[in-house]
Structure 1
Amino acid sequence: MKDVSNQQVAEHLKRLNPWWQSGEMDADTLSLHPRAYLGPVLRLLQEPKLRRAVVLLGPRRVGKTILIRHLVADLLKQGVSAQRIDYVEMDHPLLHGQTLEALIRQIEEAAPGGDGTRYLFFDEIQSHRDWEKHLKPLVDHRPDLKILVSGSAAAALKRQSTESGAGRFTDFLLPPLTFSEYLQLRQEPAAIIEEAPDRYALVDITRLNAQFAEYVNYGGYPELALSPTVRANPERFVKSDIVDKVLLRDLPQLYGIKDIQELNSLFTLLAFNTAEEVSFEQLSQRSGVGKPTIQKYIEYLEAAFLIKRVFRVDQDGKRYQRERHFKVYLTNSAMYTGLFGARSADDPEFGHLVETALFAQRFHEDARLNYARWGSEDCEVDLVESSQTLKPVAALEIKWSDKFADRPEALKGLMKFVRGNHLPLAWATTRSRIEQQVIDGCEIRQWPAAALAFHYGVRAVQGRMAGYEAQIKSITA
């Protein structure tokens, strides 16, 4: 029986790292607009005081590999020796059974590159058994190595990094595209422009709504957003490449789930009801699965970044002691397209997808988000943000309609909530109108949902960037 030879591995490594010979990144990669998070990741990787490996986390297909290629391109531009920048796809059959130490030895033989820091990028690291145990001694004993690992099994990576890499690994979460990032990646000019912090010029609301509808259907994944070929068959891209791999491979491997069909059915039910209120009782009745099992499945789906739960508060913004109901949102509205097909802006379901997309922008932050519902059916607010002391500080009613633009007092749940909590400002979305009124001392601002999604996206990226900069400073202080 033949074994893989060192020569075969060396030739494969050379194919993966064409810049060893050319000294530059390929034109296709350079033509792609980099994600906004390129700078902070590069800083984490290059910080001389930081003796840690970077663990790049995120859902499948959000652009982790492309980010790595942009990191390589930037290192080359800085004048780092091309032979000291190494990329490895850990899931390739030729590398099965290879230890990280053995791979590094073969890389150093294939690309000596002189002295200095060596940058190592291990992609799909979850394919390497006990990767975190092999990575720790490299961080401790090889100060000449700067290492970034990434992979698609986000839940597994996060747990293994947290449990085994304390003090040696720094996690960096790469989320789906925000609406503002999506517009930056597109070739056509955006129909809204940020003129100053929290100030925007709305160029054309009709065009902005068309761009927003495309984002809602296709926008969270860079490949789906930019490739006409992939967009022509979103069901195959999302279901086969993202959802099925998480449900059929990542989660069962991590959590030992045996009934994959049961998990898949529950996820499909939750996805179809994104932005709807559900309960464990309802889900158990619909699926025939016990409530404890459903609760575990939902925890797994959240760990895999597929869904996010939002819990209910009362008219005072306080959580109910016995929590029976909650809302579930897809973390990326494009998953709905992949499972059930795209929806036009006039379809009845589109309002829930708009709500999903707006919440998805806020999931990039660490904000405390809930929804309020109490008493009668007109006592509900779609989004309530609370302070650290759990006091309501903001309220938003999400509509994909202009019918309340001239009469915000008809938003009864929102008005009751802001009056009861003495909020000086509340928000509501419209489809195309911008209005601002003061009612009983409370300012009601109504913006088009697309414009507010853009604002949330800009703020989320800026906030996350500032957070990572602060993290870098605290680590290196």
Structure 2
Amino acid sequence: MATMIEHPGEQDFLHRLMLDNPWWDGVTDDQVQGLPQRAFFKRFWGAIEKNDGQKALVLTGPRGVGKTVMMRQAVAELLNADTPRRHVCYVSLEHPLFLEIDLPRLPKLLRSMRGISADHPLWLFIDEVSYQRDWEASLVKLLASDPMLRVVAVSALAPAGDNAEYIQSLFLPPFSFAEYLEQKGIAPSDVLPETPNVSRYTADVPDGLVELNDLFENYINEGGFHDANGEAGAIHRSLHSDLPGLHGISSPSDLHRLFALLAYNTGSEFSIETLARELDLAKNTLRRYLEYLESAWLVRRLERVDQDAKPFQRAVAFKVHLIHPGLRTGLIGGRASDSATITRLAETAIQTQFLTSAVGMESLYYARWGQYEVPFVFLDRRSGTPLFAYHCLWRDEAIRKPKEIRALVNFRGSHELPLGAFVLTKAQWHGGKLGGVPMRFEPASVLALRIGLEFSQL
């Protein structure tokens, strides 16, 4: 006898939504009650207030940085602003029940079941939207289904650039060093050492710098995520969930091997050819896996420029940084202790600070020519000229052994660099000329803190 197969119906969807939207019954959402807002919330809320229904607002970023919390805090703000409670709906597509639902039909279902007139705005907050196949196309159809709909979504994957007409994307970065300190109840200004007299070299370590360096080492090992052990959770949910398969990854084990190689060597230069040979993968497959890791906000590629700060006509090499250095600890389960590894993690941490600003994400490069390399070059978006450059170390010998930073000296001699050339040290400040060009030495922990503070205001 044939078995009758049943599927969830509209009443089942509504019952689940009632559980996920307690405010429909006048109950406060206790999931975010009392949780502090991230510094980025003002930018996110400003975009929500300007949402006129023409675009879906998509909050994207790494796992574990607080995207869902921020979305639910935005729901609370709407309700506090006297938005009718039944006009605000939260739905998570990570819940298996909602994988059955046709998103473009949801507004009609909500209006009919909640008694919302078609003349009134309906706010739809969609969590984990990337769990739906062709999720960007679904958002476009969803917008077209209801002219009074306001869509805010969270995605673990970055939207494609060709959907900018319908999707406004905001990137929620890992915690900056400054924000990490604030989350621990430490005011950044209280632990920022006073800049000493830098006109001459001194071996003295300024008061407070030892403490700040200890905090910085904690940050680069474990400090970028919302929850305890968030680094390991971010890796697990990005690589071991259904997401890779939903987005065309045929061999999760090869994806894991690639990520492990990149994470262990964060801050290193690679090429498609060397990676393909090392992992025994086809180049096109490797490119697709790299694109997924970038889309999932686990790694980020830096493009290369030459000594003249010009891109290469045929870009064969690139640098790869973890989106936050703590992911390396999450992968191997242990803290870095040797100077060389901490140097690379500190360099990755500097890159993370720039992620707090969209300007930083688009303008950061590295320079390499011959055997010379400058790890960070920041280009003006309009003119393409370099504004400043950094070389990162986790030791102080370079002040007395300038050969180690000859690339930065040569690069500074070829460019004005109006915002300066910096050698990032462990504990030393120094200013003056090196090789005839102005150069500044400054502790990496201090600069990381200053970048995070300055860019969080943009």
TM range (shorter): 0.7 to 0.9
Q: Within the alignment, does 1:285 sit opposite 2:277 as a pair?
A: yes
Query: How far did residue 87 of structure 1 move?
Result: 0.8
What whole-Å deviation, never above 9, does each CA across 1:189-217 have from its counterpart, x for those lacking one? 4365789xxxxxx9832222222112211
What whole-Å deviation, never above 9, does each CA across 1:48-67 have from its counterpart, x for those lacking one? 65532212222322211101
Cα distance in 2 for partners of 1:455, 1:374 equals 30
Alignment of 1:169-318 (within 5 A): 169-190=167-188, 204-223=208-227, 227=228, 230=229, 235=232, 237-245=233-241, 249-254=242-247, 256-318=248-310
* One-letter code aligned to 2:84: S
CA contact (8 A) 2:305 2:366 kept: yes
Which of 61, 78, 82 aligns to 2:81? It is 78
Cα distance in 1 for partners of 2:114, 2:192 equals 45
Cα distance in 1 for partners of 2:207, 2:144 equals 53
Name the structure 2 match of 1:391.
385
Cα distance in 2 for partners of 1:407, 1:342 equals 31
Cα distance in 2 for partners of 1:441, 1:290 equals 48
Q: Which runs of 5+ in 2 are unaligned?
A: 194-205
CA contact (8 A) 1:280 1:325 kept: yes
Tell me the SS of whatever aligns to 2:304: strand
Cα distance in 2 for partners of 1:55, 1:433 equals 42
Q: Which runs of 5+ in 1 are unaligned?
A: 196-201, 464-477
Cα distance in 2 for partners of 1:50, 1:266 equals 40
Q: Within the alignment, does 1:455 sit opposite 2:446 as a pair?
A: no
Distance 1:128 1:263, change over 3 A: closer
Cα distance in 2 for partners of 1:285, 1:327 equals 17
Tell me the SS of whatever aligns to 2:15: helix
CA contact (8 A) 2:120 2:148 kept: yes
Query: How far did residue 121 of structure 1 move?
Result: 0.6
CA contact (8 A) 1:23 1:76 kept: no
CA contact (8 A) 1:307 1:330 kept: yes
Name the structure 2 match of 1:46.
49
Query: Once the two structures are aligned, what percentage of the paired residues are identical?
Result: 31
CA contact (8 A) 1:409 1:415 kept: no
Distance 1:144 1:323, change over 3 A: closer
Distance 1:295 1:125, change over 3 A: closer
Which of 329, 337, 348 aligns to 2:321? It is 329
Cα distance in 2 for partners of 1:134, 1:285 equals 38
Cα distance in 2 for partners of 1:408, 1:68 equals 49
Cα distance in 2 for partners of 1:144, 1:138 equals 11
What whole-Å deviation, never above 9, does each CA across 1:92-128 have from its counterpart, x for those lacking one? 2333322235433444455447884332111122333
* One-letter code aligned to 1:386: L
Query: How far did residue 398 of structure 1 move?
Result: 0.4
CA contact (8 A) 1:191 1:205 kept: no
What whole-Å deviation, never above 9, does each CA across 1:419-462 have from its counterpart, x for those lacking one? 23344631111112222223466432222111111222233333
What whole-Å deviation, never above 9, does each CA across 1:160-199 have from its counterpart, x for those lacking one? xx55x5533322222222222222222344365789xxxx
CA contact (8 A) 1:125 1:151 kept: yes
Name the structure 2 match of 1:380.
373
CA contact (8 A) 1:437 1:445 kept: yes
Distance 1:426 1:24, change over 3 A: same
Which of 427, 430, 443 aligns to 2:425? It is 430
Name the structure 1 match of 2:166.
168
More displaced 10-residue stretch of structure 1: 320-329 or 268-277: 320-329
* One-letter code aligned to 1:8: D
Q: Within the alignment, does 1:403 sit opposite 2:372 as a pair?
A: no
CA contact (8 A) 1:19 1:25 kept: yes
Query: How far did residue 344 of structure 1 move?
Result: 4.2
Q: Within the alignment, does 1:418 sit opposite 2:412 as a pair?
A: yes
Aligned residues: CA RMSD: 3.1
Q: Within the alignment, does 1:31 sit opposite 2:34 as a pair?
A: yes
Query: What is the number of equivalent residue pairs in this alignment?
Result: 436
CA contact (8 A) 1:62 1:174 kept: yes
* One-letter code aligned to 2:445: A
Query: How far did residue 72 of structure 1 move?
Result: 1.2
Tell me the SS of whatever aligns to 1:299: helix
Q: Within the alignment, does 1:340 sit opposite 2:371 as a pair?
A: no
